[in-house]
Amino acid sequence: MTDRLSLEQRIQTAFADLVAAHPHDGFLQYRIDQSRLPEVARFLHERLKGRLALLFAIDCRPRAQKYEIQYLFALGAGQPWVLLTVELVGSASLFTSITPSVHAAQWYEREIRDLFGLIPQGHPDLRRLVRHEHWPQGLHPLQKAFPWDKTMGWQQGEYRFRHIEGEGVFEVPVGPIHAGIIEPGHFRFSVAGEPIMQLEVRHFWKHRGIEKLFEQCTLSGALPLAERVSGDTTIGHSLAYCQAVESLLHLEIPRRARFLRSFFLELERLHNHIGDVGAICNDTAYTLAHAHCSRMKEQLMQLNDWLTGSRFLRGTMAIGGVTKDLTAIQQRAVIDSLDRIEKDFAELESIIFANASLTDRLETTGVLTERTAWDHGAVGVVGRASGIDHDVRRDRPFAAYDEVPVHTVVYRYGDVRARLRVRMDEIHESIRLIREIWQQLPHGSILAAADHMPQPGEWALSAVESWRGEVLYFVMAGDDGHIHRCKVRDPSFVNWPAIQWAAVGNIIPDFPLINKSFNLSYAGNDL
């Protein structure tokens, strides 16, 4: 409570006319006129060191003839979220851009323009982001009047890439179709000789209308969709969705279920991190390490399948708890498996760190400075490798992390090796957490039933530290148990713009290594 009062008092001192509404615990919400928005956002970002965690719009029709634009700031461990709300009433479609002072808003505001038709005045780059040029003009799919199953025509258009002019400057386009099994993404390099002068990322080839599909679902029926937002982050997304809905339903989750949720989340982190360590080594042609990591990852995937019936842990989360309980025999098998894997991985670590040629490839390659990471609001492995000390499990504990504390790993070099080291340390930390979970696992039920129905317009926000980083879900209830708005933010959405800066000054042959060290999701980004 002291932290909340302190933060509220600081905001009140700076802006005496702002009065906080308190619709939820853990939030300070301010409804402000958009003329005040830039100065309030700048104060939160620069003076209070607030990170822009989420920016999105809501079409409030048919209940109210207006749009709302929500700006969510995270201000450190133990501090409440700060939510700024701006209303656009009636036919108003212009809102003030905060991108000139809060760089992390850039993609969010372009996304709002594409999906809602609302224009951020003062934005330095109003090119299309989500709606590629073949989309007909004037169609904005997240407006309530837009039918979810509308078949659109095709128009011819061309994206205006940024160009660097000068003698000896060449552009090298890569993608969106790539060799090998990889999702589509376009990368355009500007080079003079070998060093990369500029990288421009062009994504959203996999846009599936996920947020529009959520609006066709009930609160209880949308969980399978959340599981499939990004296939390798089944638990991260499904848990975030469940927690938001459970807040709306006023559900108290059984203690055993909370511990099992943390267990499955760490299991998901383990197999992905081990796979990434091997893939990074493989992109330096160090196939020995890749082979051993692939072997260990496969052991974990088979363990997932044995425990839950799914290699990707699908069908494990449920609104009110979990669907899978574990026996004492399974618990012992998990610990035995992890003991073997940790021993194998520790041996592999010593081999990797003893390899001077590998170290030479990784150090100072793809540096993302702490300031650049902060400006982009970088999260997860990418942020922690660049000195951003943020982990939702520690800062805003969920599941069982209030009882099983996390030791957060932070490095400050911001290069490929730092991102590798974060993953390696987190592998050991996840194994430690799983052992702690088993030691403290309580008896009891694993699922709670709901007996409350939220009123239309009620909302909840949930944050989960997935293996890639912070996953956010904002869920607003609609009529008859349906979803009015579900905003999904995968960590990839904030980390993809940052990779453009990590590539500058490197050479194109090093980009696959840099890209793999970020290992961002195309599907989770594109939605």
Low-confidence ranges of the chain (pLDDT < 50): 1-2
Residue 473 bridge partners (DSSP): 462, 488
Q: Which helix (H) or strand (E) holds 464?
A: strand 459-465
Model pLDDT, residue 254: 97
Model pLDDT, residue 2: 43
All domains in the chain, ordered by first residue: 2-121 (3.30.460.80), 252-488 (1.10.645.10)
Smallest CA-to-CA distance from 153 within 140, 141, 142, 137 is with 137
Model pLDDT, residue 7: 85
Question: What is the C-alpha R_g of the chain?
Answer: 23
**Under 8 Å between Cβ of 517 and 367:** no
Phi, psi of 234 (to 5 degrees): -55, -50
Sign of the four-CA dihedral 252, 487, 207, 147:
positive
Model pLDDT, residue 5: 61
Separation of alpha carbons 99 and 94, rounded Å: 15
Separation of alpha carbons 9 and 445, rounded Å: 42
Separation of alpha carbons 410 and 421, rounded Å: 9
Residue 492 bridge partners (DSSP): none
Query: Angle at the Cα of 370 (from 369 to 371), degrees rounded to 5?
Result: 90
Query: DSSP code of 44?
Result: I
Find all residues with CB under 8 Å of 510, minimum gap 6, and list them: 361, 365, 366
Find all residues with CB under 8 Å of 137, minimum gap 6, and list them: 155
Both tokens of 271, joined, read: 């197999």
**Whole-structure pTM value:** 0.94
Query: Angle at the Cα of 453 (from 447 to 459), degrees rounded to 5?
Result: 95
Separation of alpha carbons 276 and 517, rounded Å: 7
**CB burial readout 454-471, b (16+ within 10 A) else e:** beeebbbbbbbbbbbbbb
List pLDDT tens digits, range 433-481. 999 999 999 999 999 998 888 999 999 999 999 999 999 999 999 999 9
Model pLDDT, residue 1: 41
**Under 8 Å between Cβ of 130 and 211:** no
**Under 8 Å between Cβ of 9 and 23:** no
End-to-end CA distance of the chain: 37
